[in-house]
Amino acid sequence: MGRRKPAKRTPLQVAADDAAMDVSRKLGQMLRDGRSRLHLNQDRAAEIAGIARSEWSNLERGKKVATVPVWSRAAQAVGGRLRAYVEETSAATLPRDAVQLRNQELVIRLAKPGAWRPLPEQQIDREARTSRWADVLLERRHAHAPTEYCICEIWDWIADVGGSVRDFSRRLDALDRYGVARMRGDEPVPRTGGIWLLRATRRNRELVNEHRNFFRSRFPGSGRVWLAALTSTAAPMPSDPALLWVDVGGTRIFAARLG
């Protein structure tokens, strides 16, 4: 008897398999970032996880859909924990934007000494065809000086750098209109600005380093000056946008060196 032909996959099965490979690629990138942070080579990381070095290599390259125990071992080998959720269900114990929420919380805490009022997930342009929202909008009012508005965009993974930068420019334009619409009496025209907070993964650091001239031209502001403005009431908000890093653990914000 001849071998039975495998059943043809349904569209749903094809989509599910593609999604699984996408998850594998993202997990693999996270393993690379975690291993780099701990200064481990693949041999040592695989040894800690109790798997073959070739299997570890396949995991990092997203070439294998491994079992949950293998991914869990690999995650713990680089100091992490495997978390899981299924969208559109009630079984998830953590929100799918847990990293984003942690970084938003970090921004709000950082800006508190600078007397900034935080407005997370604030809508800044109701007239746009696709409404524009700020990850964190910061507002600081002064008695005898213009009100300051800062839009903080937080990025974990950038799929389209050009599109993201263009959208950021549109958000800054929308922020100008937002500030003017909220002027009180004859107070001066508000000052507006913005920063990108990029997660300091290995992939993101390599991306910025490889295209540092592009990022420097789009984010000419000083990260150190911006950090001073966020943390001190005496430091005015800079006019030029800047790029800052958020460490992988979501515990610290620091300036990017683009010079």
| Other C-beta atoms lying within 10 Å of the C-beta of residue 196 | 23
Calculate the alpha carbon distances from 115 to 139, 202, 207, 233, 249 in Å.
9, 33, 34, 6, 25
Per-residue pLDDT tens over the stretch 203-223: 899 999 999 999 999 999 999
Spatial separation of the C-alpha atoms in residues 153 and 63, rounded to whole Å: 32
Residue 194's beta-bridge partner residues?
A: 151
Give the pTM.
0.67
Per-residue pLDDT tens over the stretch 20-74: 888 888 888 888 888 887 888 999 999 999 999 999 999 988 877 788 889 889 9
